[in-house]
A and B are shown apart, each in its own frame.
Chain A
Amino acid sequence: MRAIKSALFIFCSLIPASCAVLHHVQVGDVNDDEKFTLKPFEIKVSEDGVDFEEAGKIAKAFTGSKAAKKDIDGVTDIIQLFQQGPRTGVPVFSETYAQNIIHDLYKECPTGQITGLVSIREMRKYPVISGEIVKIKGYCMIAKDTADAGPGDKSRGKKKKQKKETI
C-alpha cells in the first residue's frame, strides 16, 4: 500500500512539470562584420494544443463500462480522421499563431539587417494539453556610427547638411 501511495505521489508531482520536446532547429547565416554592433533579440509565440487521443485514453482508463469505452473509441476515431496529415506537435485551434513573427522581427530590428537567426519549433507537453511554441533568436545588426550617435544625437544630421552646403 505504501509503495502504491509513493508511486501515486511521484506521478502526481510529475503532472504539473512539463516535458520539452524539440521538433525542428535551423541556424541561419552568420555575419560578424566589424562595422556593425550586434544586438541580441528573442521572439516567442505559442498556442495551446489539445491531444484528443490522449484525452480518450485517460477517459477510457477512468470508465468501467464496456459500452462507454466503445463510445470513447468511436469519438476519438472520428476526431483522428479530421486531424490527419503531416504535422509537428499536437493540433492547435488557430493555425495562424506564428504568422505575425515577421512583424515582431521588424519591431525588434527596424533596420531589417538580421544575422545568426536560430529558429526553434518546440512543444511543452502536459497531460492532454500542450504549448506549441515557435522561438526565434538572433542578432540585429546596427551600423556602428549609428549606434554611437544614439537616437538623441542630432549632430550627424547637421554634419550632413554642412556637407551638402559645401557641395
Chain B
Amino acid sequence: MFKRFIQLGLIILSTASCVHVQSVSLTQIPEKRTNKVSASTEKWIFFALNFDNDYVDKLGEEMKDKCAGGRVQGILTKDEMYNYFLGLVLKRKVTATGYCNKA
C-alpha cells in the first residue's frame, strides 16, 4: 500500500510542471486600452537539446496580423520556461500582449 502511494506521488510530481519566468519587458502604454491583442509561440525541448530559437521570430509578424492596419502599443513580452518530468522535458513559451488601436 505504502509502495503504491510513493509510486503515485512520484507520477504526480513528475507530470506536474514548475514554471520559471526567464524575462519580462514592457513598452510605452497607450491612453486607449480597450482592444487587447495577444500572440504567443512555444517550443518543446527534450533532454535539454535545443538547436535553434527560430520559433520566436514569428512573434512580431503574428502581432502585426492581429492588429491589421492599426497600432499595437503597451506590449508586455513574457518568456516562460515550464519544467516537466524532473527537468527532462522543457517547454519554452513566449507571450506578447498589447493594446490595438485603429485610427
Assess whether B68 is in contact with A32, with CB atoms less than 8 Å apart. yes
Contacts of B68 in A (CB 8 A): 32
Is A144 on the interface with B (CB-CB < 8 A)?
Answer: no
B-binding segment of A17-25, A51-59, A105-113, A151-159: A17-25
**Bound form: Cα–Cα A139–B10 in Å:** 49
Number of interface residues of B (CB under 8 A): 32
Contacts of B53 in A (CB 8 A): 20, 22, 120, 122
Contacts of A34 in B (CB 8 A): 69
Is A74 on the interface with B (CB-CB < 8 A)?
Answer: no
Number of interface residues of A (CB under 8 A): 28
Interface set of A (CB-CB < 8 Å, partner B): 17-34, 38, 115-118, 120, 122, 137-139
CB interface residues, B 21-80, toward A, < 8 Å: 22-23, 25, 27-28, 48-53, 56-57, 59-61, 63-64, 67-73, 75, 77, 79
Knowing A22-B56, A29-B72, A30-B98, the reply to whether A116 touches B63 (Cβ < 8 A) is: yes
